[in-house]
Amino acid sequence: MFYHWLYPLSQEYSLFNVFQYITFRSFLAFVVAALASIIWGKRFIAYMKLKQFGQSIREDGPQSHLKKAGTPTLGGVFIIGSVLASVALVGNFSSPPFNIALLVMVSYFLLGWLDDYLKIIKKNSDGVSAKGKLAWQFITALIAGYFMVDLGVVDTSLHIPFLKEPLLDLSWLYVLFASIVIVGSSNAVNLTDGLDGLVAGPIITSASTLGILAYVAGHVEISKYLYIPYIENVGELVVLSAAVVGATVGFLWYNSYPAQVFMGDVGSLSLGGLLGTIAVLTKNEILFVVIGGVFVMEALSVILQVGSYKLRKKRIFKMAPIHHHFELKGWPEPKVIVRFWIVSVVLSILAIATLKLR
């Protein structure tokens, strides 16, 4: 919002002319969000300890996690708060893609907050029912998808990496397809949030990669050169992505092993939904399977585990999501975390490399 006050001053004071550049505002968004997250995080953790608002641990999870019971949760509050504070300073709210992404993030933030609040009050690992969560998520995603198509923010074509032309036109079915991507991303990130710092690393790499793709898609000349669909105003998502990276870096300062605070559903659901939305808005729905490969792997492990047990009464993994499987195989928690981070970095690099293969 301050951007809309500061940039017009460039007509009188040339200093404010820097606010026209997305790169400058993205850098500023990162710095502001990171500092806000670190400063606010320390006070937030102290407050949560004072109120004794701690995380409840699944009794059927790894026994080594039981000692984490009571660790402050709801860390997503200061992550999203830092993102909003940052974009309020340098975000361009006249950009439809920017506003649609914020809509999804804030809606899922409210859902996650309600879920975590119920868990804390009840002192168990339950919260909003699974059906209630899915209904909220899909309604929000369908509304976002409708606005994307109705306002002409994106076309309804399905783009595949390595192909210069779109594969097919989904027409209004694209709204449903976009919704599945957004909801799937939200829940996959939520499933990944199970170890200290595990989900923060892939969020940082995924948001960084999507930010690069948003910059490319929002630049007429670069998008044309790389045979990528140009999307007007989508470059503003670079600012939002940078804010997410900064805020998550600040959160990781306290969430790294051994964690002083957990993200909670308020963070994982909202950030996951935001990443999925940016993937849709930049026409990288299919490529997001690679970018968010760690999230996909975690979600698939749960689906396969449940499906196998229902059909064969046998489990594929020692425990799902898959990060617990490696823990039970004897990998120390920090090793699982760092190795998953490495996989996320490699997948992000591969995703960026596809830009030259079309």
- SS3 of 252-291: the string is HHHHCCCCCCCCCHHHHHHHHHHHHHHHHHCCCCCCHHHH
Structure tokens at 298: 């975690």
Q: Are 95 and 8 in contact (CB under 8 A)?
A: no
Buried b (16+ CB within 10 A) or exposed e, 107-127: bbbebbbbbbbebbeeeeeeb
Sign, CA dihedral 253-254-255-257, equals positive
pLDDT per residue of the chain (358 residues) written in tens, 0 to 9? 665 666 565 556 565 566 678 999 999 999 999 999 999 999 999 998 887 776 665 555 555 554 566 688 899 999 999 999 999 999 999 999 999 999 999 999 999 999 998 888 676 667 788 999 999 999 999 999 999 999 999 999 998 887 777 888 999 999 999 999 999 999 999 999 989 999 999 999 999 999 999 999 999 999 999 889 999 999 999 999 999 999 999 999 999 999 999 999 999 999 999 999 999 999 999 999 999 999 999 999 999 999 998 888 889 989 989 999 999 999 999 999 999 999 999 999 999 999 877 6
d(CA 169, CA 261): 45
Phi, psi torsion values for 17, nearest 5 degrees: -65, -20
Burial of 318 (0-12, 13-18, 19+ CB in 10 A): middle
Domain boundaries, the chain: 2-287
The span from the CA of 270 to the CA of 133, in Å, is 12
Residues 6+ apart with CB under 8 A from 218: 22, 230, 231, 232, 233, 234, 235, 236, 237, 238
pTM: 0.92
